[in-house]
Amino acid sequence: MKSGSNLEKVLKAGHFAFTGELGPPRGCDVEEVKEKAQHLKGNVDSVNITDNQTAMVRMSSWAASLILLQEGLEPNFQMVCRDRNRLAMQADILGAYAHGIRNMLCLSGDHQKFGDHPMAKGVFDIDSIQLISMVKNMRDNGTFLSGAELHGIPKMFIGAASNPFADPFEWRVHRLAKKVEAGCDFIQTQCIYNMEKFREFIKQANDMGLTEKTYILAGVTPMKSVGMAKYMKNKVPGMDVPDEIIKRLQGAEKGKVADEGIKFACEQIEEFKEMKGVHGVHMMAIEWEHKVPEIAERAKVLPRPVVD
């Protein structure tokens, strides 16, 4: 065991993992975190806690992760490269581990231009792949990035993101390979809507042997409305939403669009369960946490396994 986190145990035991996501509040309201967490409890193996997502200031990721721990859920502490340099990153990793956080997700981070402080200085001292390598180095070699020895070693289960749909498509699997080489234990992908392209991506990853070296959790976000689908298609960089999906949602009965969105998500999950090289699903029900129990039920991923 690298970290002994619940997520690691579930994956290692060969179960199909199911992870969730929670965005911390734009303030210090603990109740808001607890409320969202209640919907996820027992329905997912681990919960990603976003780090100033879309470059909007929120309660810090490690702090919200601690609230989750107190509530009896396992957090997956996200860390972006935009807001901290290598000193602050390593310090936060140590602090997070000391408080019981065992999973991390290493990301570049959306550009600050998108957020509420567009003129902030973007740090990007190191990039996401370098961050993976830094965390692995801390864990496996017991040293800081500088080479100095650590007193007390943070044993994190190291995650990274992968976007199979950004251009150039041929390069995507190589970028995944770089993340694996840098030392990531699991991957959570960008939200998948274009299944055909994803099948091709996974096939490439299988052919390169990458899916044997890292666990792949396929990213799923159920569409709530036609407007959301169109927004994702046109406004979110690196997102691939085929027209069929939009048509399918448009074809749904009045008042049943969200239901159709969940139905499509469940069909995806059924396919992922059978897909070679996919080890689980990462459910990003953005501001839709209360729907997760229903989605998990309908996707037949309950009860979640308990592994000792």
* Residues in contact with another protein by the rule CB under 8 A: 81-82, 86, 108-111, 113-114, 122, 124-130, 133-134, 145, 161-163, 166-168, 171, 174-175, 177-178, 181-182, 190, 237-238
CB of 148 to another protein, least distance (A): 15
Q: Name which of 171 and 270 has its Cβ closer to another protein.
A: 171
CB of 193 to another protein, least distance (A): 15
CA-based nearest residue to 18, from 216, 305, 280: 280
CB of 14 to another protein, least distance (A): 28
Q: Name which of 109 and 277 has its Cβ closer to another protein.
A: 109
Amino acid making up residue 6 = N
Q: Name which of 44 and 161 has its Cβ closer to another protein.
A: 161
- How many angstroms separate the CA atoms of 55 and 203, rounded? 33
CB of 129 to another protein, least distance (A): 4
Provide the 3-class DSSP secondary structure of residue 194. coil
CB of 130 to another protein, least distance (A): 5
Helices 243-250 and 226-235, interaxial angle, to 10°?
160
- How many angstroms separate the CA atoms of 182 and 276, rounded? 23
Q: Name which of 22 and 191 has its Cβ closer to another protein.
A: 191
Give 132-196 as a 3 state SS string.
Answer: HHHHHHHHHHCECCCCCECCCCCCCEEEEEECCCCCCHHHHHHHHHHHHHHCCCEEEEEECCCHH
Q: Name which of 51 and 260 has its Cβ closer to another protein.
A: 51
Amino acid making up residue 70 = Q
